[in-house]
Amino acid sequence: MSDIIQLLPDHVANQIAAGEVVQRPASVVKELLENAIDAGATNIKLLLKDAGKTLIQVIDDGKGMSTTDARMSFERHATSKIQKAEDLFNLCTKGFRGEALASIAAIAHVELKTKQENEELGTCIKIEGSKIVSQDFISTGKGTSLAVKNLFYNIPARRNFLKSDTVETRHIIDEFQRVALAHPAISFLLHHNNNEVYHLKSSNLRQRIVAVFGSKMNEKLVPIDEKTDIVNIQGFVAKPEFSKRKRGEQFFFVNDRFIKSSYLNHAVVNAFDGLLEQGAHPSYFLYLTVPTSTIDINIHPTKTEIKFDNEKALYAMLRATVKHSLGQYNVAPVLDFNRDANLDTPYHFKSNSKTASVPKISVDPDFNPFKEVEQKEINFPFKREKNTQSWESLYTSVDTIENQPNETLFDHQQEEKTQKTFQIQRKYVMSLIKSGVVLINQSLAHQRVLYEQFLESITVKEANSQQLLFPVKISFSSAEIEMIYTIKSELENAGFSFDEFTKDSVTIKGIPVSVTESKITIILEELLNDINLEVPDASFSHFDVMAKSFAKTLSIKTGTLLSEKEQESLVNNLFSCKEPTVSPFGKATFKTLTLNQIDNLFNS
């Protein structure tokens, strides 16, 4: 039998490696931004076209590369970060595997321009599918510019798996935010289709958070600062009243590297115990600094998961630190057995060095507690009036009641109507049918009703809009404003009317008839979160996501008391729907119990 095992060609091996390293345009953005940071850049520009599918370009003012290094950087496992295996446990840089650029070059058209400060000319290399097309000397500024064009051009099946531009842009912005938040001293610029999304100047940590998430974030932040032998914890948590229904603004950084850790997240949530509503999630931006020898960051291809040597100690310290800060800034009640706040000296006494004056005491030597005092000598603060009404008048004669006609006494006892529906525990509506009963989940049923109504008004009918007497201005982050702007036409079809878009706010002058003014912010926040969930649909209809989001937000909730008329209306509207059996999210809206099934409950 002939031999069947053979070595893969380099370009095929690179394409396979690209499957791990480059999952979507956001993966390329992460690698290129981290390379720019490792190069010592102080200004980094990220330019995108068509959510990175057409162009991803990162320009930095770092130290650049020599001609040899520029060529070597596209070879597999070529890196300047490590020389031996032990270096993996003492890493202070971002990229270290040496496979990112080789993987990217295998599935895209890449153009690299780079120059070191002490060189007169720089180097330009063009690569297409791992093949070097050209290499020339060029005149360029210090630093590196790396453009990745036509991502997955030679793997069409992989390109077809990419989501819509809105979703892919959201992933890119997520990666951009993580890198920008980890390095507030570096200036970042993000342009998408020639529109400026972010312009972040060099600043401190608090200013960077506010610049990324909008000016309203500043009032929400509670500072965290704790230094111990095994970990330094800095950053901010948001006040409990600003918690969110979705896990959005939750950031952990370890040694300036973004990580995901459900274990540490549990520690933070535990510190908020008793301060959050059911289902709410706290926002936080926490920066942990630990010795590099105590962590292993090489356990996941994306390097977002880290293994700690002393997880239990970190958990306890993080929980205690967050809890202490919430109490210190009067966000949460705190017990301190070492100090009585009532005994604290007022600050103006401290500064003016005043001493408390001795109170004066006056004594009446003629006071006799046994001396009788005439009633007239006592001064009452009010005059007593004698009740001229006889006490018997408080009681009504029994005869007057007995003599009243029966119809006035028993007006409420009218002929009973047959009730068709009953509400159970303010959660279910029970309706009688010939074969038994139907149990309807009031919230899920209302979601189905609203979903079909919204979908029809958005796609078939012209949605009715109500103009607001005073336009409402709502603050969002730059990324959220960008997303709202991309679905502006769909929102207008739904009945929204916009007045003005700025970098961190949107002004709304009209809303759908079925929406109340107080619900506008909630609806838009829920809609943005739902779009981020990536509905598994190749066409990715914003209309469908929008109708589902509106229905979920505006539907009646469990615990809402419904009148008999409201119950009947819900039942009738549900069974008038095209798909009454399931909610927009695939859950059953009702269950039927026949008389036989009910009888079996008692016969078993």
Encode pLDDT of 280-309 as tens digits: 888 999 999 988 877 766 555 556 677 777
Cα angle: 35, vertex 36, 41; to 5 degrees: 145
The pLDDT > 90 percentage for the chain reads 29
SS3 letters across 230-242:
CCEEEEEEECHHH
pLDDT score of 13: 66
Q: Which residue type, as a one-letter code, is found at position 74?
A: F
SS3 letters across 259-279:
ECCHHHHHHHHHHCCCCCCCC
- 572-595 core/surface letters (b: 16 or more CB in 10 A; e: else): ebbbebeebeebbeeeebbeeeee
Residue with more model confidence, 349 or 208: 208
pLDDT score of 295: 76
Length of the chain: 604
Q: Coil, strand or helix: which one is 93? A: coil
The pLDDT > 70 percentage for the chain reads 77
Q: Answer yes or no: is pLDDT of 166 > 50.
A: yes
CA atoms within 13 A on the CB side of 439: 11
Q: Answer yes or no: is pLDDT of 410 > 50.
A: no
Angstrom CA distances, 15 to 106, 146, 210, stand at 6, 19, 40
pLDDT score of 436: 86
Neighbours of 327 (CB within 10 A): 15
- What is the token pair recorded at 515? 């929406």
Q: Is the pTM here over 0.75, yes or no?
A: no
Tens of pLDDT, residue by residue over 489-541, are 878 878 888 888 887 889 999 888 778 888 888 888 888 877 766 544 434 45
Instruction: List CB contacts of 95: < 8 A, sequence separation 6 or more.
Output: 31, 34, 35, 38, 79, 81
- 111-132 core/surface letters (b: 16 or more CB in 10 A; e: else): bbbbbbeebeebbbbbbbbbee
Residue with more model confidence, 406 or 178: 178
Mean pLDDT comparison of 14-18, 318-322, 490-494, highest-scoring range: 318-322
Mean pLDDT comparison of 202-206, 323-327, 552-556, highest-scoring range: 202-206
Domains of the chain, earliest start first? 10-200 (3.30.565.10), 205-328 (3.30.230.10), 428-590 (3.30.1370.100)
Tens of pLDDT, residue by residue over 93-150, are 665 445 688 889 889 999 999 999 989 999 999 999 888 999 999 999 999 999 999 9
SS3 letters across 198-236:
EEECCCCHHHHHHHHHCHHHHHHEEEEEEECCCCEEEEE
For residue 416, the 8-state DSSP code is P
Q: Do 182 and 256 contact (CB within 8 A), yes or no?
A: yes
Q: What is the dihedral of CA 31, 34, 40, 42, to 10 degrees?
A: 110
Overall average pLDDT of the 40-52 stretch: 94
Cα angle: 499, vertex 503, 508; to 5 degrees: 25
Neighbours of 290 (CB within 10 A): 18
